[in-house]
Chain A
Amino acid sequence: MSDATEPTLRTEEMTLNMGPQHPSTHGVLRFVIRADGEVMREAVPDVGYLHRSIEKIAEKVGYHGFMPYTDRVDYVCAMFTNQGWGMACEKLAGIEVPRRGEYCRVISTEFNRIASHLLTVGLMGMDIGAMTPFLHALREREMINDLIEELCGARLTFNYMRIGGVAWDLPPGWREKALAYLDHLDPILEEYNALFSYNKICIQRLANVAPISAEEAINYNLVGPNLRACGVKWDVRKDMAYSAYADFEFDVPTGRGQWGTIGDSMDRYMMRIYEMKESAKILRQALTRMPDGPVLAKVVRNFRPPAGECQVRVESARGDQGWYVVSDGSGYPWRVHVRTGSFAAMGIIQKLSRGLMIADLVVLIASLDVIAPEIDR
């Protein structure tokens, strides 16, 4: 453009609406974007479209009755919300879960983690305009859904766990199927990398987009893979080992920034691939070393934990999930609060969006692995 035309060229700030029904916002959530051309001044998230008052429901349905509702807190990885609720109640009442029950929990949650990460990896492809990775990832995810369906009868909202353990033991022949699936998964992950992760277009779209520093991530309370991508080596499974995780050997991968900066979208995306491999490692150990015995402790039907309060932390697929439960000694919890990874991740988007391209906002949401029901609860 020549200098002569410049004084007459005037750009104006636009206010755009993205969502609530938008294919790349992973559920019903909305952004109000102030943009100058393709560059955003700011994207202000507007959440609450999926608010189902789950915390309020907990106060009305009692301890056992709340278990199926916890599935709906995060329906992409419902095993973790089951486990979080179970663990909080067990901590309040001082119940010990049988060893085999803990192993069943580890196995079901780790399969669920792989299923959730597969969805994230697939959706990342779809969000940046490649449909094929999504179909590939869903193909492998379906197999896990089949396995979990055989285990507990449901494919999405499992309601598999109970206070004091799990509802059912592994069905006959399930262990062999699960091990066969893991053998199938390892080369498939390499295939994903060759097909999509190391694809030049993918790297160019993800590398150096919206990097987050470690201090910033901690300050905004990012958790799980999003935090580890920034180089913070922290995993609740390892550092505050709960359930049976102390029995297993696995690594905690962190972002190294080999494609751009540490903590950029590419690092966050790759964390999911690394973690699937670690989950497979844990699963192999758990499936081969499973102890015998009952899977469910004896818990009274009229469950009344003593008055008190506690917080438990579970490493869900979207990171450290905190369950804060207050009991007044009656059959109904006084207050339940879930601190979720997606809620914290949404809080940082407004800050990161400044100066980003609109198309990169889609990448940012996908790389933070935000799931709308978990934000709104």
Chain B
Amino acid sequence: MEPLRIYERLKERFGERVLETIEKKPDPFVLVDPDALIEICRYLREDPELAMDCLSNETGVDYKDHVEVVYHLFSYGHRHGAVLKIKLPREEPRVATVEGIWKSANWMEREIFDLVGVNFEGHSDLRRILMPEDWPGHPLRKDFVEPQEYHGISTVRESPIVRLDSHKKKPA
């Protein structure tokens, strides 16, 4: 089934709770209500004509005024895919976990929690995965400022080239 046809089906079935279908090239996607996420995902997985048995990718994106979580779904049986998105507020974003529907969400949600700072409610093991446990902030947030040092280890190194150029005008 074509992605746009899948989004139409979702719209017919869930009405208001499917917010918007965006037909932007190259990949169109559908924006859904975060509160209806679990219900929609369960439908996508269990409906025999859709049968999205694989959550192939889950990503968090920071857009400065809001945070998005993107779900790339795929069906091995029907060989079609869909892209689902939810918009969350930037302050304390939280959404229900889809771990109960697709097991692969476990690690991907840990990564989003670690790097983008989205809280997944009901997640079985929500810990940092790539960064150290005591790392400040979430590195893939656009306003993240890298700390100058971590446990006495400097994260910056002076460049000898910059030093040689220091008599020239300073970069703005």
A residues with a Cβ closer than 8 A to B are 47-48, 51, 53, 55-56, 91-92, 94, 215-216, 218-221, 232, 234, 239, 307-311, 320, 322, 324, 326, 334-335, 337, 339, 343-344, 346-348, 376-377
Nearest A residue to B112 via CB reads A337
Contacts of B140 in A (CB 8 A): 55-56, 335
Complex Cα–Cα for A298 and B82 (A): 32
At the interface with chain A, which of B7-15, B88-96, B103-111, B156-164?
B103-111
**A51 surroundings in chain B (CB, below 8 A):** 130-131
Interface centre among A55, A94, A376 (most CB of B within 10 A): A55
The docked-state distance in angstroms from the alpha carbon of A377 to that of B108 is: 13
Closest-by-CB residue of B relative to A49 is B130
Partner of B27, one of A48, A311, A343: A311
**Extra pairs beyond A215-B53, A322-B72 (14, CB < 8 Å):** A48-B129, A48-B130, A51-B130, A91-B26, A219-B104, A307-B24, A308-B24, A320-B56, A324-B57, A324-B72, A337-B57, A339-B56, A339-B108, A347-B104
User: Is the C-beta of B132 less than 8 angstroms from some C-beta in chain A?
Assistant: yes
Known: A343-B107, A347-B104. A335 touches B61 (CB 8 A): yes
Q: How far is the CA of A232 from the CA of B29 in the complex (A)?
A: 27
Q: How far is the CA of A148 from the CA of B55 in the complex (A)?
A: 35
16 A/B residue pairs, CB under 8 Å, sorted by A: A47-B129, A48-B130, A219-B54, A219-B103, A307-B24, A308-B24, A309-B27, A320-B56, A326-B61, A334-B61, A335-B59, A335-B62, A337-B57, A339-B59, A346-B107, A347-B107
Cβ of A377: which chain B residues have Cβ within 8 Å of it?
130
Is the C-beta of B83 less than 8 angstroms from some C-beta in chain A?
yes
**B68-101 near A? 1/0 per residue, CB < 8 Å:** 0010100010010001000000000000000000
Contact with A along B126-169 (1 / 0, CB 8 A): 00111110000001100000000000000000000000000000
B7: min CB distance to chain A, Å: 16
Residue from B29, B102, B129 in contact with A219 in the complex, judged by beta carbons closer than 8 Å: B102
> Count of chain B residues with Cβ under 8 Å from any Cβ of A?
33
Interface centre among B103, B115, B139 (most CB of A within 10 A): B103
Contacts of A218 in B (CB 8 A): 53-54, 76
Complex alpha-carbon distance, A221 and B130, angstroms: 19
Point out the residues of chain A lying under 8 angstroms from B129, CB to CB. Answer: 47-48
Contacts A310-B27, A324-B59, A337-B57: A347 and B106 contacting too (C-beta < 8 A)?
Answer: yes
- Cα A368 to Cα B146 in complex, Å, equals 35
CB–CB A311/B131 < 8 A: no
Give Cα distance in the complex from A326 to B72, angstroms: 14
Are A221 and B102 in contact, with the CB atoms below 8 A?
Answer: yes
CB neighbours of B70 from chain A (8 A): 324
* In the complex, B25 has a CB within 8 A of chain A: yes
Q: Which residue of B lies closest to A351 (CB)?
A: B103
Q: Is the CB of A310 within 8 A of B55?
A: no
> Which of A55, A56, A311, A344 sits near B83, CB closer than 8 Å?
A311
Determine the chain A residues whose CB is within 8 A of the CB of B132 once the complex forms: 48
Chain A residues whose CB sits within 8 angstroms of the CB of B61 once the complex forms: 326, 334-335
Q: CA separation between A240 and B8, bound complex, in Å?
A: 24
Chain B residues with Cβ under 8 A from A53's Cβ? 139
Considering only CB atoms, which chain A residue lies closest to B116 in the complex? Answer: A335
| B103 A311 Cβ-Cβ under 8 A | no
Contact B57 A219 (CB under 8 A): no
Chain B residues with CB under 8 Å of A322's CB are 56-57, 72
Please tell me which one of the listed residues A221, A311, A324, A337 contacts residue B104 in the complex, with CB atoms under 8 A apart. A221
Q: List, in ascending order, chain B residues with CB within 8 A of A348's CB.
A: 103
Q: Hey, which chain A residues are within 8 Å of B26, CB to CB?
A: 91-92, 94, 308, 310
Say whether B130 contacts A376, CB under 8 Å: yes
Q: Which B residues lie within 8 Å of A376 (CB)? A: 130
CA of A189 to CA of B172 in the docked complex: distance in angstroms? 59
Determine whether the beta carbon of B72 is less than 8 Å from that of A311: yes
- Do residues A220 and B130 form an inter-chain contact, with CB atoms below 8 A? no
Q: Mask for B21-36, Cβ within 8 A of A = 1, else 0?
A: 0001111010000000
| CB-nearest residue of chain A to B26 | A310
Residue of B nearest to A88 (CB): B26
Chain B residues near A219 (CB-CB < 8 A): 53-54, 102-104
CA distance A231 to B110 in the complex (A): 29
Chain A residues with Cβ under 8 A from B102's Cβ? 219, 221
